[in-house]
């Protein structure tokens, strides 16, 4: 596995204060992105002679504009904030390619080859109404997507396109029970856009399947230097997508649901020392599948992170942090497991004037861990039958890095 990638970004921002309570802002952006990757996850499963090496390539131009008008006003006795905005983003992707290759030099066959143009035009309106300790926040966003694909493998010229619009409302409530206790309920609708090549070639496939979510939580300050937050949440996806990179297709795996609990805390030990920690639990399942066959591959059920930080102590800043990911199903029946890990990192920086010197140790205890993991069917060249098992990229071993910077 290997390849090259590059990205160049340009961003321009604008802000204008129309009056004491009204502003207008915007930003225009452009990004140039190139990507080429050679990989082989199935070894000799499909081609027992040359192997299954693939090349993925794209040359992408991204450009767009975001604008927003904001105003604060009083409606009767109700303090109100209004935001209205619009914008667009366009992705011009030329020579997007998936090909079977040999030794990174010879192209054996092209699986996908063409040009993608995708444009998103959107507008939104957002309002906040404060009734004493209660804040109500309704909002709505409207998106229109234009998908166009020119398939260069088609013997007849066919530059086809699909258009789809979607309305995404949201409604939030925030209640400050006291200066130390806040409750909130956040709900909203969103979407997950499909691959342009899929929806253009088969318009019956879902283009913008909807996502529905809600959070019910609280923020507490039981002591002057302690903040605790907790939330229960739910997320429904109308359609789950699985990108199969080797075949250049997107598979549908049906609707899914996720529900969970997040708990976090922040505590200031002294003037310069802070503790923090977060624990997140999620239950994720496919809705239309039988129990025991309805796991969502690689969806984590338990993650956690914690750390201690030193902030602005005589020019020193640093932290000792740990992150944990529990083992999780790698396939739908949990017969293959992606192994979890716990990794710790340390960093310290010292700044004097414009000079900064820093030192970082990643994976302090030199834990052997697997970073990217997924279940894949593969076959070695001398094997008669294929095997489905975990394929992975190894996580970084203990690593030392030094940083020197000068600001001007």
In the chain, the N- to C-terminal Cα span, in Å, equals: 40
What is the per-residue pLDDT for 154? Answer: 85
Per DSSP, which regions of 253-369 are E strands? 256-268, 273-286, 302-313, 316-325, 328-329, 337-338, 341-352, 355-362
pLDDT digits (tens, 9 = 90+) for 147-157: 999 988 887 76
**Residue 7 pLDDT exceeds 90:** yes
For the chain, the structural domain boundaries read: 64-87+118-140+166-406
d(C-alpha 212, C-alpha 150), whole Å: 33
Would you say domain 64-87+118-140+166-406 falls under CATH 2.40.170.20? yes
CA angle 86, 89, 93 (to 5 degrees): 170
pLDDT digits (tens, 9 = 90+) for 365-385: 999 999 999 999 999 998 999
> Is residue 268 exposed (0-12), middle (13-18) or buried (19+ Cβ within 10 Å)?
middle
Length of the chain: 408
What integer is the mean pLDDT of 296-320?
96
What is the per-residue pLDDT for 126? Answer: 98
d(C-alpha 57, C-alpha 64), whole Å: 23
pLDDT digits (tens, 9 = 90+) for 55-78: 999 999 999 999 999 999 999 889
Annotate 117-128 with DSSP letters as a single string. Answer: EEEEEEEEEEEE
pLDDT digits (tens, 9 = 90+) for 16-55: 999 999 999 999 999 999 999 999 989 999 999 999 999 9
What is the per-residue pLDDT for 157? Answer: 67
pLDDT digits (tens, 9 = 90+) for 397-406: 999 999 999 9
What integer is the mean pLDDT of 358-364?
97
Indicate the pLDDT class of residue 5, thresholds 50, 70 and 90. very high
Indicate the pLDDT class of residue 206, thresholds 50, 70 and 90. confident
**Residue 248 pLDDT exceeds 80:** no
Mean pLDDT, the chain, as a whole number? 94
What integer is the mean pLDDT of 70-88?
96
What is the per-residue pLDDT for 156? Answer: 77
Q: Which helix (H) or strand (E) covers residue 199, if one does?
A: helix 196-201
The answer for 191, left when phi > 0, alpha when psi is -120 to 50, beta otherwise, is: beta
User: Among 38-42, 133-137, 211-215, where is mean pLDDT lowest?
Assistant: 38-42
Better-scored residue on pLDDT, 323 or 200: 323
Indicate the pLDDT class of residue 159, thresholds 50, 70 and 90. low
What integer is the mean pLDDT of 383-390?
93
What is the per-residue pLDDT for 293? Answer: 95
What is the per-residue pLDDT for 194? Answer: 84
Contact 151, 117 (CB under 8 A): no
Indicate the pLDDT class of residue 193, thresholds 50, 70 and 90. confident
CA angle 8, 357, 361 (to 5 degrees): 85
What is the per-residue pLDDT for 160? Answer: 80
The answer to whether the predicted template modeling score (pTM) of the entire model surpasses 0.95 is no
What is the per-residue pLDDT for 363? Answer: 98
What is the per-residue pLDDT for 60? Answer: 96
* Dihedral (Cα; 293, 299, 305, 311), 10-degree rounding: -170
What is the per-residue pLDDT for 6? Answer: 97
d(C-alpha 329, C-alpha 299), whole Å: 7
Residues 6+ apart with CB under 8 A from 235: 211, 212, 213, 257, 258, 259
């Amino acid at each position: 596995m290997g390849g090259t990638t590059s990205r160049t970004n340009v961003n321009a921002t604008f802000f204008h204060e129309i009056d004491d309570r009204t502003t207008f802002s915007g930003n225009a952006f452009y990004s140039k992105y190139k990507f080429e990757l050679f990989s082989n996850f199935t070894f000799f499963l499909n081609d027992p002679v040359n192997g299954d090496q693939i090349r993925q390539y794209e040359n992408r131009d991204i450009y767009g504009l975001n604008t927003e008008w904001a105003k604060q006003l009083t409606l009767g006795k109700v303090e109100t904030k209004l935001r209205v905005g619009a914008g667009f983003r366009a992705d011009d992707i030329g020579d997007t390619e998936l090909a079977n290759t040999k030794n990174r030099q010879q192209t054996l066959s092209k699986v996908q080859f063409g040009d993608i143009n995708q444009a998103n035009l959107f507008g939104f309106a957002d309002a906040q109404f404060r009734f004493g300790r209660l804040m109500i926040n309704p909002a709505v966003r409207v998106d229109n997507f234009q998908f166009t694909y020119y398939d260069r493998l088609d013997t007849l010229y066919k530059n086809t396109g699909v258009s789809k619009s979607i309305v995404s409302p949201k409604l939030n409530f925030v209640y400050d029970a006291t200066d130390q206790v806040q409750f909130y309920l956040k709900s909203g609708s969103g979407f997950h856009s499909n691959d342009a090549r899929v929806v253009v070639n088969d318009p019956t496939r879902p283009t913008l399947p909807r996502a529905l979510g809600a959070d019910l939580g609280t923020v507490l300050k039981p002591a002057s230097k302690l903040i605790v937050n907790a939330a229960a949440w739910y997320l429904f996806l109308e359609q789950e997508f699985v990108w199969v990179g080797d075949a250049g297709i997107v598979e549908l795996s049906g609707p899914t649901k996720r529900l969970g609990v997040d708990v976090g805390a922040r505590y200031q030990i002294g003037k310069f020392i802070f503790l923090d920690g977060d624990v997140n639990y999620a239950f994720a399942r496919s809705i239309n599948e039988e129990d025991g066959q309805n796991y969502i591959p690689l969806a984590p059920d338990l993650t956690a992170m914690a750390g201690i930080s030193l902030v602005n102590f005589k020019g020193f800043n640093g932290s000792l942090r740990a992150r944990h990911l529990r083992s999780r199903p790698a396939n739908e029946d949990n017969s293959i497991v992606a192994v979890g890990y716990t990794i710790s990192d340390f960093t310290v920086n010292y700044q004097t004037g414009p000079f900064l010197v820093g030192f970082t140790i990643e994976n302090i205890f030199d834990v052997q861990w697997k970073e990217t993991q997924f279940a894949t069917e593969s076959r070695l060249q001398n094997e008669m039958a294929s095997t489905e098992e975990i394929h992975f990229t190894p996580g970084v071993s203990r690593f030392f890095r030094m940083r020197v910077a000068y600001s001007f």
